[in-house]
A = this chain, B = another copy of it.
């Protein structure tokens, strides 16, 4: 069983500690877990993501959701942060996303260009910055260099660094795909090696034949997991990548819209396995506002739950409570 990483376990500068404390204990669930609301999809995917719920095209929609739903923080690129945060300043912590791209060109040499700085984040009063690292992309040279400078600035300014660690690019696709266990597990380790404070990961595909193109040890893992029931395989996959993230707190993303039950079960398993939190966007704001608040509330209950209880319920672990 993986223990959830707590702030006091980490060797951090005072500035990083102070800002992370705000995210982990002063906002959101407040028990050392995180629930983040990302709203960078307008850049990454375009306005197409707002079609299912037109009001969501107005960033104020997500700001209100973050505030009323008491999220731990909201994720914005610089333009939205500058234009929409005024009335939420200090109420909703800001995570400034520093790099981005559109999804128009091919992902074969994926690279996410830096368009704002850690100094911007300081200036805007952000409590963390976000950076997308495309692990395994043919452009990883550029990415590592760009990332290294961001990391150094984060240390200079005491700014927590959240890495969207995404396997991507033609070479990744040739070895099992960007959601294979191999790829996500590697991405988790890379974030730990290169100095992320928090890493955002996708839940790896634990039952997907794509894994069959992965290196042998991962293929074997896939073979072993084939026989297991869904939740058990999910759990092993999640624990594997959390282990690889080491002393980097892990957030799992929601990805595209799924059913409520799938979403809640995903949340339960991730949190039971020691994740620090969740970063759910489309699943939260591709709904009517009230419905968004409601599902937020149900997710928050999972974040606030005791891990031991979650694990007993999900995995039948531990002694029977009296």
The reply to whether A122 and B158 contact each other, CB–CB distance below 8 Å, is yes
Interface positions of A from 188 to 227, Cβ below 8 Å from B: 188-196, 215, 217-218
The reply to whether A147 and B89 contact each other, CB–CB distance below 8 Å, is no
The reply to whether B48 and A100 contact each other, CB–CB distance below 8 Å, is no
A189 CA / B115 CA spacing, docked (Å) = 15
The residue in chain B whose Cβ has the minimal distance to the Cβ of A157 is B122
Of B11, B15, B86, B145, which contacts A115 at CB under 8 A? B145
Interface assignment of A151: CB less than 8 Å from any CB of chain B: yes
Question: Mask for A17-49, Cβ within 8 A of B = 1, else 0?
Answer: 111111001100000000000001011001110
Number of copies: 5
Interface assignment of A73: CB less than 8 Å from any CB of chain B: no
The reply to whether A105 and B22 contact each other, CB–CB distance below 8 Å, is no
The reply to whether B82 and A18 contact each other, CB–CB distance below 8 Å, is no
Of B18, B79, B91, which contacts A196 at CB under 8 A? B79
Interface assignment of A104: CB less than 8 Å from any CB of chain B: yes
Interface assignment of A295: CB less than 8 Å from any CB of chain B: no
The reply to whether B104 and A136 contact each other, CB–CB distance below 8 Å, is yes
Tell me the minimal C-beta distance from A247 to chain B in angstroms: 4
The reply to whether B102 and A135 contact each other, CB–CB distance below 8 Å, is yes
Of A167-175, A274-282, A286-294, the one with at least 4 CB within 8 A of chain B: A167-175
Of B89, B113, B116, B142, which contacts A18 at CB under 8 A? B89
The residue in chain B whose Cβ has the minimal distance to the Cβ of A98 is B148
A77 CA / B111 CA spacing, docked (Å) = 22
Of B111, B185, B243, which contacts A46 at CB under 8 A? B185
The reply to whether A218 and B186 contact each other, CB–CB distance below 8 Å, is no
Of A51-59, A260-268, A301-309, A312-320, the one with at least 4 CB within 8 A of chain B: A51-59
Interface assignment of A297: CB less than 8 Å from any CB of chain B: no
The reply to whether B80 and A26 contact each other, CB–CB distance below 8 Å, is no
Of B101, B116, B185, which contacts A47 at CB under 8 A? B185
The residue in chain B whose Cβ has the minimal distance to the Cβ of A105 is B171
A194 CA / B99 CA spacing, docked (Å) = 10
The reply to whether A189 and B78 contact each other, CB–CB distance below 8 Å, is no
Interface positions of A from 139 to 156, Cβ below 8 Å from B: 139-145, 147-148, 151-152, 156
The reply to whether A136 and B90 contact each other, CB–CB distance below 8 Å, is no
Of B40, B90, B142, B243, which contacts A17 at CB under 8 A? B90
Interface assignment of A137: CB less than 8 Å from any CB of chain B: yes
Q: Which residues of A contact B (CB under 8 A)?
A: 10-11, 13-22, 25-26, 40, 42-43, 46-48, 51, 57-59, 77-86, 89-91, 94, 99-102, 104-106, 111, 113-117, 119-120, 122-125, 135-145, 147-148, 151-152, 156-158, 167, 169, 171-172, 175, 182-183, 185-186, 188-196, 215, 217-218, 243-244, 246-248
